[in-house]
Structure formats: structure tokens, C-alpha cells
Chain A
Amino acid sequence: MRLVDRHGVRREHSSFTVPDPAMLAELHRAMVIGRRFNQQAGTLARQGRLAVYPSSTGQEAAQVGGVLALGERDWLFPSYRDSVAMLTHGVDPVETLTLFRGDWHCGYDPHRYRCAPQCTPLATNASHAVGLTYAARHKGHDVAALVLMGDGATSEGDTHEAYNFAAVWNTPVVFLVQNNHWAISVPLHRQSVAPTLAHKAVGYGMRGYHVDGNDAAAVHSVVAHALTEAREGGGPAIVEALTYRVDPHTNADAPQRYRDDGEVEYWVERDPLIRMETLLRNEQIVDDGLLEVYERDAERIATVVRDRMAGEDRLDPASLFTDVYAEVPPVLERQRNELAEELREV
């Protein structure tokens, strides 16, 4: 499924329509910010200010397109490569990076942003989304969820269980599979021999959609449709967004060991930002002035990230013991005192 081709030209589709101009502009703005954010975070990782950073350059359309389809009360369940999605969802840019900076695990209050902690053991957050939307319905609330997962994660048993629970319980969850072709170094054909990952939906009695993941308009249109259907009781859905991880897995990866530059080039030519910018310019939805504003917005966020991370935050070692249990048990009270003693001796 594609609504805008790689040359920025609209394609007719029988069931889906291109989002309105305001949304197209918003999709592009979010992608511009996301790309700059990925660059800035990558730089911080090279400087040693982040312990690690998994870039999503090249996948902006899939992340932004999915997230901007969410309603005000909906939840996002990201994995570690979904910083751009989180940023678009409204999570503070520095709090998005707390995990990678090593200051703490989850840097934000999930309730505040309706965003679950970034999931590192892949696919284990998928069933959380099913439970959360189940609970919301139990309480009479209209809350849907978008789960972000990659092609590798679809091999996990937890993915199967979450798909099945969502389908059996008919919870409003859309599973957006960003098929970026590589699970670190393992190619898709070693993960699955299914015709597409979207085909898997059939076995769960779900709807499955296969979409050009570098076409933000298409991703947005399909995810919005799937969310609406799910809210109305039509059941959860799998949306496979075909995209590509242009950067290495993380700054510690060595992609030359497992893939050709030519493959990367092929996908760079299908860059989601260029495609959208071409469409917006050709249809005079945005002009140079507005595009410059987007660039400045992106630069401002990059500057904020840089500045706020310039120094070291003081971390309190005693905080290790505070949020393990609702109340600090005697055994941890003793250990907190032991650590305090160690610190006095230093």
C-alpha cells in the first residue's frame, strides 16, 4: 500500500486517501525534527555522552506516521529504536535519552506522556498494551494503543501471545511492525518465510496491512484507519511498514560485516523526507519559508538536547534503594546504610 511514491507523486488507492494538507505538513515537520534528533543523539554517543544510541534514520515516516494517528488518550508502547516516535508523541527529548545516557532506566513518567518505558527485551511490551487497553475498557474509557515492534521481534513468543490475547479479547491495539530488514545483523529471510509479516494477522483472526513504511502519508492513513476500526470493536490489527535501517544498529555495530553499501544506497534513494518534501513543494502545501521554520524547530530541539546534556546530572546513590518496593524493607535499609558508609570512606 502506497499513497505517495518515491518521486513525491500521489498514487490512487481504492480504500485509503492521502491525509489532508495540514497533516502532511505536520508529518513532514515531525520527520525533519526526528532526523535531526537522530543525528544529534548519534553525535552525543560518539562523544561518549550517551552510552549507546540506536538510530532510526530512514524509519522516520513509519514512526511519525503511526504516532500522529493516535488520539489524545491513546498510549504508545515503544521499543528502544523509537526515539523519534516518542518525541513526536510528546515525550521530553532529554527524558527520551535518559536510558541511553545511563542516568536511569526509564527517564519519564509513563502516565504523564501515555508512553510505556522503552522496551529492550523485544516484544515483551506488546502484552502490556493489550492489558492496558483491556483495563481502560473495563473502566469505561476510550483508550487505544500503538505497539511498535521490528521484524526481529515478530519471531518472539511474546509477540504471538500478545497478538492472540488482543484478538481474543478484542482490545483496541494496533501492532505497527517496522520491518527495517535487519535485526542487528540478521536479515529478514532468517526470521521468517511468511509471504509478508502482515500475513501473520490471518492466523489470529486479525486484519493485516502491508504498507510502504517510507511513505508517511500511507502509514498515517492506514494506522488511523486501523485504530478507528479497533476502537469501534473491529478488533486489533497488524500494520507492517516496509522500511530500512540506514544507520548501524547502534554506534557499536559493524554493518560492513553483514551488508553491502549498495543495499543502503537503494534505500537512501527512497528517503522518506525527500519524498514528502517533494510532494509538499509540488503541491504548494509548504513554501521555503515554512521549510526553514521546520529546520529551525529541529535545530532548536537539537540545541536543547546538547545544552541540557552538557553537564553531568548529580545522581544520588541512595536512590538505588527507594523505589524497589512501596516501602523500603529493613534489609534494604541496612544496605543503604552500608553504601552510605562506603561513600563516607571514599
Chain B
Amino acid sequence: MAHTFPTSETTMGAALNRALRDALAADPDVLVYGEDVGPLGGVFRVTDGLTADFGEERCFDSPLAESGIVGTAIGMAAYGLRPVVEMQFDAFSYPAFEQVTSHLAKMRNRTRGAVTLPVVIRVPYGGGIGGVEHHSDSSEAYYTHTPGLRVVTPGTPADAYSMLREAIDCDDPVLFLEPKRRYWARETVELPVRTEPMQRSVVRRSGSDATLIVYGPMVATALEAAEAAAGEGRDLEVVDLRQLAPFDDATVTASVRRTGRAVVVHEASVFGGYGAEVAARVTEQCFHHLEAPVLRVGGWDVPYPPPKLEEHHLPGVDRILTAVDRLQWESEWVEGR
């Protein structure tokens, strides 16, 4: 049975389920497979009821082998299907890394556009759910460093629906990162819904003092931080990047030019992380508008910790606000701005 909720409130998990349903109904070339996505409905129940409602031909369990899952999806897409496959957890996607980087992402380029691969790889990612070892990685930087791949991640249930539909319709391969700790986040929204195109970043909260640049699981955390900051008299803007690669920096640079200060926040370790790219780009393009260096907030540069320690690893409201405090506010006072 599919998740059902009263009125028009939906969780991100249910929104993703609905997106898969609607895509399967809309296009006979769409099929869904992976580990445990059949009768069980996936370990997070995102594919709940799809096999029952669309048949084993359209949603089925595959052997437990991630490289094989992505490799076969490449072959299927080359023959005109639009497979949507699931990597059960972030760190379980690594056996498929070669297929993703050497074939999926490059095939259009290798064949000068003759072979296109409309494959969607869904990856529940990130921590915060008390998962044991290898269940909580934020793997986005591995993938965003791969030209040819679109890497997207929704931060809200409405976006989860809209972006997954868009990803399935997209002719580029899409790595669809699902912030697993937000599967149960609720939003009042009528499905089906279409939000902004996925390649566009959006302003989730307008503010004038500084910009928090976030995506996926950190969208909600940043909004919470912005609320707390408002209580202290600081008006923070929150930009949700949504599509991490290719990176369209127009929205974020426009925001930083207005606010003059920015903090990039992600769960992943800071060193060599996606935030470094964003910080560099914002600095290059907004230098004369910046009142302070762009700061990065993330997890420590350590392997993802065990469940009982993860709260000390993951960036929360306090770590974000501490960074905001370090944005050289004293210069305003000195210069009398």
C-alpha cells in the first residue's frame, strides 16, 4: 500500500513514491529496479506498492550488485528505455562508481551525441538517522567532479516530486541524491506539483545580512538557523542549490552581491568538499561585494562516525550561527556602514 496522508500533507518519501508512480504511468519506457525495491518497497519504502500496481515488468528486484545495476541500466537506456535504479545507501553506491564515471557520464560525449543515456540513479544519502557504518555518507563531491553527470538533490517534499519527475524526463544521466533524514519531513502541497526547473537554485528565505548556501538535508537546518538568527537581529537569506552539477551560480551570486556575506553548509567533510567549489566561485564573482571571506561549514574531516557520535559530527544550527558570527561584522561598525 502506498503512503496515505490526510488532506494534502505529504512526506518527502511519499512524494518520491508518487513521482515514480506518475512517471511509470506516463511513459511505458520507464522502469524501476534495484535491491529490495520490489515487494518490500525499498528499505525506505520509497518504491512501496509499485510492483503490485505496475507489475514485475516495470518494478523489480535485481541481483545484489551495484555495478551490474548501473551497467545494465546503461545498456537499457542505450536501447531506448528510461531506467530508474536505486543504490540502497550512499556508501553502497561505490561498486558502481566506474560505471557511473567511465560510461554513464561519458557516453554522450564519447559517441558525439549518438548514444544518450537517460538513466536516473536514486541514492539515499547523508546521516542523521542513526545508521551504522557505511549508511550515512555524503558522496556528492565524488559525483559533482564528473562532467556529463547531473547531480541534483531536493530539500523539500514538493521539490522531491517535481525534481524526480524532471530527472526521469531528462535526457542526461541524473544522480538523484535523496536526503534520507528528510524522508519523513512533511509539507502541505497538492501533488502532482511542478516547482522551479531543477537546474535553477531558489531563494528559500529572503534576508539582507548574509546568505546561507545549502542543499538537500541542510535546507531545513539552515531555515531553522535563519529563524534563530532573526531572534538575534540578523536577517539571513537561504539559497537552496538543488542542482549541484552543472552548477548554475546565477541565483547564489545575485544573493551574495546583495548580502555581502556567505556561508556554505553541507553535511559532507569540508576538505575538498562541494562547498569549496561554491566558495571559490562566489569569491571569484562577488569579490568586490564581499564584506568577509566566504566560510564553509560541514562535517569534520573524519570518517563518518558511529550513531552515538554523529550529532557531534553533523553541522547544526549552532555551528552555522557560529560561522555567521565570524563573518567580520565588526568591519561594518568600523566603516560606519
Contact = CB atoms under 8 A, between A and B. Distances in A.
Contact-residue bracket for chain A: 35 or more
A320 to B, nearest CB: 9
Contacts of B247: 331
B148 interface: yes
Nearest to B73: A131
A158 interface: yes
A110 B246 contact: no
A23 interface: no
A136 B79 CA distance: 7
A332 B68 contact: no
Contacts of A139: 79-81
A164 B113 contact: no
A274 B150 CA distance: 53
Interface residues of B, number: 48
Contacts of B76: 131-132, 134-135, 138
Nearest to A145: B75
Interface in B146-165: 147-148, 150
Nearest to B101: A121
Interface in A280-317: none
A110 B110 CA distance: 11
B199 interface: yes
Given A323-B112, A326-B170, A331-B247, A158 B81 contact: no
B254 interface: no
Nearest to B112: A323
B43 interface: no
Contacts of A203: none
A106 interface: yes
A127 B74 contact: yes
Contacts of A326: 108, 116, 170-172
Contacts of A169: 72
B246 to A, nearest CB: 4
A211 interface: no
B108 A165 contact: no
Interface string A158-194: 1001101100110000000000000000000000000
Given A135-B81, A164-B68, A104 B74 contact: no
A154 interface: no
Nearest to B248: A330
B65 A165 contact: yes
Contacts of A133: 75
Interface string B279-294: 0000000000000000
Contacts of B99: 124, 127, 158
Nearest to A325: B172
A131 B65 contact: no
Contact of B57 (A126, A130, A138): A138
A132 B75 contact: yes
B65 A330 contact: no
A331 B150 CA distance: 13
B95 A157 contact: yes
A26 interface: no
Contacts of A111: 114-115
Interface of A: 104-106, 109-112, 116-117, 121, 124-136, 138-139, 143, 157-158, 161-162, 164-165, 168-169, 319, 322-326, 329-332
Interface of B: 31, 57, 62-63, 65, 67-68, 70-81, 83, 95, 98-99, 102-103, 106-116, 147-148, 150, 170-172, 199, 246-250
Q: List the 6 closest pairs (A to B, CB-CB), nearest first.
A: A131-B75, A127-B71, A161-B68, A131-B72, A135-B79, A132-B75
